[in-house]
Structure 1
Amino acid sequence: MSTTTFLINGVSDALISPLDRGLAYGDGIFRTIRVINGQPIAWQAHYAKLLADSRRLYLPCPEAASWQEDLGRLFADQGDGVAKLILTRGIAERGYAVGDHAIPTRIVIRSSLPLYPDRNASHGIRAYLCKTRLAHQPLLAGIKHLNRLENVLARQEWSDTVISEGVMLDQDGLVIEGVMSNILIRSGTILATPDLERCGVDGITRQRILAIAPSLGLIPAITSLTLTELMNADEVLMCNSLYGVWQVVDFNGRTWPLGQLAGRLRQFLQE
């Protein structure tokens, strides 16, 4: 592995200023990407989402070539791992007002892939119903912004290592997402995922799964998802860009037999 583990604006020994708005206000966005043999998986989709999120926040986004150059340097050994891309509004004087002269801060971090147990994929996972609720904010809904305190609080609710993920509801009690994942359910031939118009993160893997669902004979649907509907589903899946897809087999007092859909989706995502 390369000895360089991060770059800030393309510089390996740079530091983050205490005046950076990403630190002061969480004024920025990020992406987390799996890298295999030095290649970021689904790069075009990740950059498109980075660009779309930055536009939602009126945040100038560097060209794709700048990010790709950083990734190439950090993964010059053609190794595997995780790339985290962070974009902040940059250095500015105190206060919420956005000045005209702030230069965005571009950060790329290389780290090892988390050591997820193999049985999560082969046998399914146990999930926990979080007490922390997601607040509604349509202006930020779907964006992977730097304000993730709701998820931080939710993750502190359990320490049992047999629990792999938490299910988060919104302030109205609707199912929204996992602490680090998106959620999908299969009911017959319908593959549904929660509507994220008011809160939650619209993940790339979620988007990719919805796109390939018809090729698996499934009808994709984005809908307001109740906890009862999730509990009555034939299969419950959780997904993100690092582990792909896991099936939930134990949640909130119900168990499900291990199905085939999670494995099929993982195969499609890898292809």
Structure 2
Amino acid sequence: MSKLKQTIKIITPDTTISTQDRGLNYGDGFFTTASVVNSVVEHWDLHKARLEECAQRLFFPELDLTAIEREVNHAISDTQTGISKIVITRGAGGRGYGLPDTPSIQVLISIMPAVSHYKSWQQQGVSLAVSDVKLAHQPLLAGLKTLNRLEQVLIKKQMSSLECDDVVVLDYDNNVIECSAANLFAIKDGQVMSPKLDRCGITGVYLSALCDKLAIEFKAIQLDELLAMDAVFMCNSLMGVVPVARIADTQFDIECSKALLAAQFAKESV
């Protein structure tokens, strides 16, 4: 499919979007959320790669990423620390679920304040429960950050009744997949590992960045295996790496966890 029309909007209180937009009606789109530090988007190359992969796998036309990058940089020029969210939809058009012959890609850029409590999480660790809401398998969408996030909405709703900072989310085979809005990785006997995301879940940008610094093995992990790890961490682009202090009734020594992770970084940097 050739490159077609692309409209970029920096979101303000006066921004409007068509009620016929396919992102609004069908979740026909994708997004990425990035940390802004000193007016620079962290891991921008990986965020661009995510947008490219989503566009290709969802049969969007080729994105004009140069124009998107220019507008993002303009939007964050006065932001020392914050969050940039880029939402991309297929725009309005098509009959029902059918794709429009000439899609009009909509790019919506939002700038938001940074999340204040992540720094304390990094120092003190987090407490995780296990979610009763499980993820369905759909390999065609696995790894992608699409606009279809109703599973996560239900996960957050159930989480609100629990005494925890976040939850471990499983699939219907009871494999560990992720947290409500972050990836998981763990250390066992000197090996770093993370759940396979080939049937469901989201491949996070921060996890991808860690793969450049750590030798991470992606494998099926059951809950009992996760609980037996020497250290467990959650991560995403906004929180960075956060040690897990507790999962259900299992405790982890976060100072030991931090030391184990530091040793892994030191080993891989040699």
Partner of 1:234: 230
Partner of 1:208: 209
Partner of 1:222: 218
Partner of 1:260: 258
Q: 2:10, 2:109 within 8 Å by CA — same for their partners in 1? A: no
Shift of 1:160: 6.4
The code of the aligned residue for 2:206 comes to T
SS of equivalent residue, structure 1 residue 200: coil
* Cα separation, partners in 2 of 1:262 and 1:57, compared to 1, 3 Å: farther
Q: 1:81, 1:111 within 8 Å by CA — same for their partners in 2? A: yes
Q: 1:19, 1:94 within 8 Å by CA — same for their partners in 2? A: no
In structure 2, how many angstroms separate the alpha carbons of the residues matched to 1:261 and 1:185? Answer: 13
Shift of 1:161: 8.6
Partner of 2:138: 137
In structure 1, how many angstroms separate the alpha carbons of the residues matched to 2:153 and 2:260? Answer: 26
* Cα separation, partners in 2 of 1:80 and 1:118, compared to 1, 3 Å: closer
Shift of 1:115: 1.9
Deviations 1:173-206 (A, max 9, x none): 1000110100001001111101111000001111
Deviations 1:1-52 (A, max 9, x none): xxxxxxx724665411010000000000100000011100010111011101
Q: 2:233, 2:243 within 8 Å by CA — same for their partners in 1? A: yes
Aligned-pair identity (%)? 31
Deviations 1:85-128 (A, max 9, x none): 01101111440110212211111100001121543111211011
Q: 1:88, 1:106 within 8 Å by CA — same for their partners in 2? A: yes
SS of equivalent residue, structure 1 residue 147: coil
Task: Give the TM-score normalised by structure 1.
Answer: 0.88
- The root-mean-square deviation of aligned C-alpha atoms, in Å, is 2.0
Task: Give the TM-score normalised by structure 2.
Answer: 0.89
Shift of 1:210: 2.2
Q: How many residues align structurally?
A: 255
SS of equivalent residue, structure 2 residue 24: helix
Give matches, 1:16-35, under 5 Å: 16-35=17-36
SS of equivalent residue, structure 1 residue 211: coil
In structure 1, how many angstroms separate the alpha carbons of the residues matched to 2:64 and 2:205? Answer: 19
In structure 2, how many angstroms separate the alpha carbons of the residues matched to 1:39 and 1:186? Answer: 31
Partner of 1:3: none
* Cα separation, partners in 2 of 1:245 and 1:262, compared to 1, 3 Å: farther
Deviations 1:105-162 (A, max 9, x none): 1111000011215431112110110000000000000000000110110011133696
* Cα separation, partners in 2 of 1:223 and 1:135, compared to 1, 3 Å: same
In structure 2, how many angstroms separate the alpha carbons of the residues matched to 1:78 and 1:128? Answer: 35
Q: 1:9, 1:106 within 8 Å by CA — same for their partners in 2? A: yes
Give matches, 1:2-41, under 5 Å: 9-10=8-9, 13-41=14-42
Partner of 1:63: 64
* Cα separation, partners in 2 of 1:108 and 1:154, compared to 1, 3 Å: same
SS of equivalent residue, structure 2 residue 128: strand
The code of the aligned residue for 2:237 comes to S
In structure 1, how many angstroms separate the alpha carbons of the residues matched to 2:48 and 2:71? Answer: 14
Q: 1:248, 1:256 within 8 Å by CA — same for their partners in 2? A: yes
Q: 1:245, 1:262 within 8 Å by CA — same for their partners in 2? A: no
In structure 2, how many angstroms separate the alpha carbons of the residues matched to 1:61 and 1:156? Answer: 36
Shift of 1:54: 1.0
Partner of 1:83: 84
In structure 2, how many angstroms separate the alpha carbons of the residues matched to 1:70 and 1:24? Answer: 26
The code of the aligned residue for 1:141 comes to A
Q: 1:61, 1:87 within 8 Å by CA — same for their partners in 2? A: no
Q: 2:129, 2:162 within 8 Å by CA — same for their partners in 1? A: no
